[in-house]
C-alpha cells in the first residue's frame, strides 16, 4: 500500500470496527450517508462501506435522499439502501418509531461528502448523531470530528474506501475477498471509473490503476461498469443530449461554453433528469474551451449547474458562489426555485469577471 494512504485508512478502519462493536453490543444500526444528486463515487463508496460492515457482522444501511438512478441498477445493491421518504417498510417504520429494523441509529459515516447540508433530506439525521466518521476527497470541510479522513489528492472516495477495506482485512485477520464481496468490489470500481472519467482525468495516478486492478480481481467487471455508466443510453437521452449540444453558446472569446436545458425540454424529449449528463465534459473538450457549464431545470423547479474546466479555472470556487462545491476541475451547484434564464445571465456575468 502506498505510504500516503496508510495512516488515514488505518484510522478509518479502526473507527469503523469500533462502531461495529459498539452498535452490535447496543443493538443499534449504522447509517452511511452520501451526497444528494448521487453519482457513481458516492454510491460506490457508501455501498462499499455498508457491505463491509455487514460482512463483519454489523448492521448498516446507506441513507439516500433520492432514488438510485436507473443506470446504476446493474450494480444490484438496492437492498443496501434506506430512503427515509419512500414507501418502503423500513422508511414507514422510521417515520413512525424512529427505528430501522427495530434498531436505533448508533453511529453515522459519510462518504464522498462531509456535511449534512450536502445530503438533502438525510442531512438532518446525519446532523443529529454525534458519533461521525468521514471518508472524503473534497477539500472544503467544516465538520468537526476526530474521525475524519480527507484526502483531496485521492481520485475518488471509492479509492479511499478500498484502502479502508485492506486495513480492515489486516486488523481482523480476514481475507480481503471476505470483506469486499464481488458486488461491493463492482460498486467501488464504479466510483473510481466515474470520478476519473474512465481513468482519463488528471486525478488518475498509478495507484488508482493498481486499485482498479485489484477490484477487478475481487469480481468487479470493468466493461460492465463502463458500458452501464458511460456508453449505454436511451433513445430519448441520446436525442436530448444532441439538442443540448446544438444549443451551446460561446462567450469570452470562445473560452466559455454554456448550454441551458429548461424542464420543458426534458418533457418534450421524454428523458429523465440525467438526460444531459454526458454533455458538460464533451463541451469542456472542445478546442479552446477552458470552462463548460450546463444549467438544467429540474421538475422541482430547482436549477442545477454542472461545471468543468480544462486547465486553470477554479470550478469549486465558482460553484461556492452559488452555494455549491466540488473539485477544482469539476464542481456543481443547485439553486432552489430560480428562473433558469436569469441564473444563466448571472452565471455569464460572473464568468466574464472571473475567467
Contact range with Mn ion by CB under 5 A, out of 68-76, 192-200, 315-323, 330-338: 192-200
Contact range with Mn ion by CB under 5 A, out of 18-26, 49-57, 100-108, 187-195: 187-195
Q: Residue 271 or 331: which CB sits closer to Mn ion?
A: 331
At 221, phi and psi to the nearest 5? Answer: -95, 105
- Name the residue among 277, 275, 252 with its Cα closest to residue 264: 275
DSSP annotation string for 24-87: HHTTEEEEEE--SS--HHHHHHHHHHHHHHHHTT--EEEE-SSPPPGGGGGG--GGGEE-TTSS
CB contact set of 51 (below 8 Å; sequence gap of 6+): 77, 80, 180, 181, 183, 184, 187
Check binding of 151 to Mn ion (CB under 5 A): no
Q: To the nearest whole angstrom, how small is the minimum distance from the Cβ of residue 314 to Mn ion?
A: 17
Q: To the nearest whole angstrom, how small is the minimum distance from the Cβ of residue 157 to Mn ion?
A: 5
Q: Residue 203 or 297: which CB sits closer to Mn ion?
A: 203
Check binding of 112 to Mn ion (CB under 5 A): yes
Q: To the nearest whole angstrom, how small is the minimum distance from the Cβ of residue 191 to Mn ion?
A: 7
- In the DSSP assignment, the letter for residue 294 is E
Q: Binder to Mn ion among 59, 159, 195, 277 (CB under 5 A)?
A: 195
Query: Where in 119-248 does DSSP place strands (E)?
Result: 132-136, 148-150
| Total chain residues near Mn ion (CB under 5 A) | 5
Q: Residue 202 or 235: which CB sits closer to Mn ion?
A: 202
Q: Residue 125 or 190: which CB sits closer to Mn ion?
A: 190
What residues between 38 and 57 interact with Mn ion by CB under 5 A?
41
How many C-beta atoms surround the C-beta of residue 185 within 10 A? 25
Contact range with Mn ion by CB under 5 A, out of 112-120, 228-236, 307-315, 333-341: 112-120
Check binding of 59 to Mn ion (CB under 5 A): no
Q: Residue 195 or 290: which CB sits closer to Mn ion?
A: 195
Q: To the nearest whole angstrom, how small is the minimum distance from the Cβ of residue 333 to Mn ion?
A: 16
- In the DSSP assignment, the letter for residue 231 is I
**Residue position matching grid coordinates 473538450:** 285
Check binding of 290 to Mn ion (CB under 5 A): no
Q: Hey, is 284 helix, strand or coil? A: helix
Kindly state the cell numbers that stand for 73. Answer: 441498477
Residues making contact with Mn ion (CB under 5 A): 41, 112, 156-157, 195
Amino acid at each position: 500500500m502506498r505510504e500516503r494512504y496508510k495512516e488515514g485508512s488505518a484510522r478509518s478502519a479502526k473507527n469503523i470496527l469500533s462502531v461495529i462493536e459498539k452498535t452490535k453490543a447496543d443493538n443499534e444500526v449504522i447509517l452511511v450517508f452520501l451526497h444528494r444528486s448521487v453519482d457513481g463515487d458516492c454510491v460506490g463508496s457508501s455501498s462499499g462501506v455498508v457491505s463491509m460492515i455487514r460482512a463483519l457482522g454489523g448492521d448498516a444501511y446507506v441513507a439516500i435522499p433520492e432514488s438510485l438512478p436507473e443506470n446504476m441498477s446493474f450494480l444490484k445493491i438496492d437492498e443496501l439502501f434506506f430512503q427515509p421518504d419512500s414507501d418502503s417498510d423500513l422508511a414507514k417504520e422510521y417515520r413512525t418509531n424512529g427505528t430501522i429494523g427495530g434498531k436505533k441509529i448508533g453511529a453515522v459515516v459519510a462518504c464522498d461528502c462531509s456535511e449534512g447540508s450536502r445530503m438533502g433530506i438525510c442531512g438532518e439525521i446525519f446532523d443529529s448523531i454525534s458519533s461521525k466518521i468521514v471518508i472524503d476527497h473534497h477539500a472544503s470541510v467544516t465538520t468537526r470530528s476526530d474521525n475524519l479522513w480527507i484526502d483531496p489528492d485521492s481520485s475518488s472516495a471509492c479509492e479511499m474506501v478500498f484502502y479502508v477495506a485492506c486495513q480492515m482485512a489486516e486488523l481482523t485477520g480476514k481475507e480481503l475477498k471476505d470483506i469486499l464481496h464481488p458486488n461491493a468490489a463492482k460498486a467501488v470500481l464504479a466510483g473510481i471509473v466515474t470520478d476519473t472519467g474512465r481513468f482519463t482525468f488528471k486525478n488518475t495516478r498509478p495507484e488508482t490503476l493498481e486499485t482498479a486492478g485489484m477490484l477487478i480481481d475481487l469480481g468487479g467487471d470493468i466493461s460492465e461498469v463502463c458500458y452501464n455508466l458511460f456508453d449505454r443510453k436511451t433513445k430519448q437521452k441520446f436525442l436530448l443530449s444532441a439538442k443540448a449540444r446544438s444549443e451551446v453558446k460561446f462567450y469570452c472569446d470562445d473560452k466559455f461554453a454554456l448550454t441551458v436545458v429548461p424542464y420543458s425540454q426534458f418533457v418534450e424529449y421524454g428523458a429523465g433528469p440525467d438526460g444531459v449528463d454526458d454533455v458538460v465534459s464533451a463541451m469542456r473538450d472542445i478546442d479552446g474551451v477552458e470552462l463548460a457549464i450546463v444549467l438544467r431545470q429540474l421538475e422541482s423547479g430547482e436549477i442545477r449547474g454542472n461545471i468543468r474546466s480544462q486547465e486553470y479555472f477554479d470550478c469549486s470556487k465558482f460553484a461556492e458562489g452559488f452555494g455549491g462545491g466540488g473539485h477544482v476541475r469539476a464542481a456543481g451547484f443547485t439553486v432552489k426555485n430560480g428562473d433558469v434564464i436569469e441564473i444563466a445571465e448571472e452565471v455569464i456575468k460572473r464568468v466574464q469577471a472571473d475567467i
